Amino acid sequence: MAISRRQLLTAAGSTALAAGFSFPAPAQGSPIKLGSILDNSGLLDIYGKPMVMATAMAVEEMNDTGGLLGRKIDLKQYDSQSDIALYTKYAQQLVREDKVDVVHAGITSASREAIRQTFRRANTLYFYNVLYEGGVCDRNCVITGTTPAQAVEPIIDYAMKKWGNKIYTIAADYNYGQITAKWVAHYVEQRKGTVAKTDFFPLDIADFGSTIAKIQDAAPNFVVSALVGGSHMAFYRQWAASGMNKKIPLTSTTFGVGNEHLALSAAEGDGILIAGNYSQEIPDAANKEFLARWQKKFGDTKIVHEIAISQYHGIKLWAECVKQAGSIEREAVLKVIESGAKVDGPAGQVVIEPKTHHASLDIRLMLVKDQKLSIIDTAKQRPPSDTAQYCDLSKNPDENKQFEVKI
Amino acid sequence: MDYLAVVLLEILYMIAFLALISAGLAVVFGMMRVINLAHGEFVMLGGYATIASWKAGINIYVAMLLIAPIVVGAVGLVVERLIVRFLYGRMIDTMLATWGLSLLLIGLVTLIFGNTAVSVPAPIPGYQIGRYQMGGYNIFIIGVTIVLMLSMWLVLRYTRVGLIARGSMLGPDIVAALGHNPRTIYMLTFTVGAALSGLAGGVLAPLTGLLPSAGGAYIAKAFITVITGGAAVVAGTLTTAGLFGTVNQLVSFASTPVVGEIAMLALAILLLRLMPQGVTGRFFRNST
């Protein structure tokens, strides 16, 4: 066994304590460091800004109630400006210079994959709090967002029963869209439907004229959109401008997450079907109190969206685990996580599945109406069963890959 | 049959889009040989001027057709007086200065409006061709572009102002000798170019969301259209916009919009290799 300098010092310290020396314990007073990297500006800031606010709010709430384990929490928040290169840079900074105790970071799946291995190598516990394409199997990484089995399957199920079995998929052209489109095809084929066509679009494409004509040519029963970011919002606008929103139903796995329903007028957005963990319309007291606190701190609650809530859940969940573990050490916290840690948040209960480090969540089927996400159905505690098909961290704790569905 | 009509309309729209975003640059670069790297930001400013005045309750058509070009024209005038006029004939210096200007404008707009996508809904409803629904607003853009190109051509070709403007680009000394001040003409031309960019930004605002960095999406397309077009402002812009728009949309329909853009860029490279002086350097040589 190799003895590190830290272990040696600890050992020396405890010997000193045992020997009856009294000296001020520095660890007790020094703050716990929580690192966060999010896109607070640029193309993806429609997602990032409310997440940054939720992060600040969660940390402030903990500090106002005495911190964690009697220590204050020091938030290191970096703005990655919608630039992947800045993610890797700040990830290095968090582990090397700031030496943080935990990281809650990343929005797009591309950003997550850019930084995940850095935290794994540095043994820094990493939370990714965003809905995504599923399949990440990494013991160092805890995920509190929804996966396709949670958000895509209910949409496909509901929409195919309601509208028919011919589907057209449009998706963002990076790992999130590519893999989500595969899951869409998987669930559609499971139900004996067909995917007429799948089109992918880079994040800066804003002209969808030819696509809208092609969709009409294929004449699907409904369209599934996994589009991402500010430019792609042009699709919904052009779709409505051509009057298609009255002709072919539109469903989405991402709509609303960037507050698209607020950027579009009611006439443009009405009728889009989505599924996810959060809507501001959730009638529970936990949600109402959360929104009231947000209102007090930031004023406008309209911008609160699902992944801001996920980020809030993630931080609260981590804090809960630290409290139970009585330590901020990675192994101790992971042990609590792997005992099925849970936390109650604005969107209901979040329970970590020990095998996958993903969360079981309440999933709501929602319809866009008057710039609001009105809930039509809620499924309590839906498990991330897609990832669970492949990933078992209790059996293979050293697994470090992202599984994809084979179609 | 109706599918053909849809494809044709999308091609027309793409041609109109390219001609519209290139018009201002064609005037500034094509006539004055000033490489304005802040061109995309002028377009972006037109969009923001439109959205801001629409939010203030002004009629959307007044906002995009009048206010956007006036605001951006005024910005262009200030820019010409403060920066560009000292740099005529110094191409590299102009590039550097206008690039700095583009960063400054992005920063200023971010400060004022925030780095967040904003938008206005399209004011024209969709319509039907056979079994296809089409965006009605695209027709409006095609219409605006036709009127714009026609009036540019008429002004440059048949009016005294147009003659003087063209003359001072070819031989400023001679024009000066005839009693016109080339400096004033340059100033006005730059202002008109900026106003045209503002008009483009205003008219396009309802179709796409706007970010302070939106200019980047326009500038590359505008430059390849104008440079490949060559010396003739109207004929050059129209020829290349026609070629690029057709190729882009046909390929987009056959595969995806991404491949469509690649095909358009490949065609631009090919054309510039064959005709380094631009299309109008070889064909339509005496056109405007």
Q: For the domain that residue B43 is a member of, what is the CATH number?
A: 1.10.3470
B91-113 and B39-55 helices cross at what angle (nearest 10)? 20
Tokens of A273: 């079907």
Which residue from A minimizes the CA distance to B111? A41
In a domain, B182, yes or no: yes
Q: Which of B115, B119, B137 sits opposite A263 (nearest CB)?
A: B119
Average pLDDT over residues B250-264: 90
Kind and range of the H or E run holding A349:
strand A348-353
Residue B285 clears pLDDT 50, i.e. is over it: yes
Q: Which of B117, B118, B135 sits opposite A238 (nearest CB)?
A: B135
* CA distance linking residue A352 with residue A212, whole number of Å: 40
Tokens of B199: 């008009």
Average pLDDT over residues B207-219: 83
Q: Which domain holds residue B36?
A: 2-282
Q: What is the pLDDT of residue B207?
A: 81
Does the distance separating the beta carbons of B206 and A237 come in below 8 Å? yes
**Distances from the Cα of A138 to the Cα of A355, A359, B168, angstroms:** 10, 14, 68
Does the distance separating the beta carbons of B127 and A243 come in below 8 Å? yes
In a domain, B288, yes or no: no
Tokens of B194: 């900026």
Reference A106, options A314, A279, A291; nearest CA is: A314
* CA distance linking residue B219 with residue A231, whole number of Å: 16
Q: What is the pLDDT of residue B53?
A: 94
Reduce the DSSP state of residue A138 to 3 states and report it: strand
Does the distance separating the beta carbons of B253 and A216 come in below 8 Å? no
Q: Which of A241, A263, A268 sits opposite B135 (nearest CB)?
A: A241
Q: What is the pLDDT of residue A20?
A: 43
Q: What are the structural domains, with CATH classification, of chain A?
A: 31-147+281-361+382-402 (3.40.50.2300), 149-276 (3.40.50.2300)
Per-residue pLDDT of chain A (407 residues; tens, 9 = 90+): 455 655 555 555 554 444 444 444 444 578 999 999 999 987 788 899 999 999 999 999 999 999 999 999 999 999 998 899 999 999 999 999 999 999 999 999 999 999 999 999 999 999 999 999 999 999 999 999 999 999 999 999 999 999 999 999 999 998 899 999 999 999 999 999 999 999 999 887 888 888 998 999 899 999 999 998 777 888 998 898 888 988 999 999 899 888 888 888 888 889 999 999 999 999 999 999 999 999 999 998 999 999 999 999 999 999 999 999 999 999 999 999 999 999 999 999 999 999 999 999 999 999 999 999 999 999 999 999 999 999 999 999 999 999 988 77
Q: What is the pLDDT of residue A203?
A: 83
**Distances from the Cα of B54 to the Cα of B50, B123, B197, angstroms:** 6, 11, 18
Q: What is the pLDDT of residue A16?
A: 47
- List phi, psi (to 5°) of A379: -105, 115
Q: Beta strand pairing status for A273-276 and A358-369? A: antiparallel
User: Domains in chain B: how many in total?
Assistant: 1
Which one of B9, B18, B21, B115 makes the best mutation probe of the A interface by having the most chain A beta carbons within 10 Å? B115
Work out the minimum CA distance from B141 to partner chain A, whole angstroms: 13
Q: What residues of A are in the B interface, CB distance below 8 Å?
A: 41-43, 45-46, 49, 173, 199-202, 204-214, 216-217, 219, 230-231, 233-234, 237-238, 240-244, 247, 263-265, 267-268
Does the distance separating the beta carbons of B256 and A216 come in below 8 Å? no
In a domain, B140, yes or no: yes
Average pLDDT over residues B207-236: 87
Tokens of A211: 């696509």
How far separated are the first and last CA of chain A, in Å rounded?
A: 46
Helix, strand, coil percent values for chain A (each to nearest 5)? 45, 25, 35
CB contact at 8 A, A273 and A374:
no
How far separated are the first and last CA of chain B, in Å rounded?
A: 36
Work out the minimum CA distance from A268 to partner chain B, whole angstroms: 8
Q: What is the pLDDT of residue B190?
A: 94
Q: What is the pLDDT of residue B133?
A: 80
In a domain, B287, yes or no: no
Which one of A173, A210, A228 makes the best mutation probe of the B interface by having the most chain B beta carbons within 10 Å? A210
Tell me how far apart the 2 most distant CA atoms of chain B are, in Å: 63
Does the distance separating the beta carbons of B10 and A210 come in below 8 Å? yes
**Distances from the Cα of B18 to the Cα of A229, A291, B216, B224, angstroms:** 24, 46, 14, 10
Q: What is the pLDDT of residue A265?
A: 81
Q: What is the pLDDT of residue A23?
A: 42
The DSSP line for A84-142 is HHHHHHHHHIIIIII--SEEE--SSHHHHHHHHHHHHHTT-EEEE-S-----EEETTEE
Residue B104 clears pLDDT 50, i.e. is over it: yes
| ipTM for the whole predicted complex goes beyond 0.85 | no
CB contact at 8 A, A311 and A129:
yes
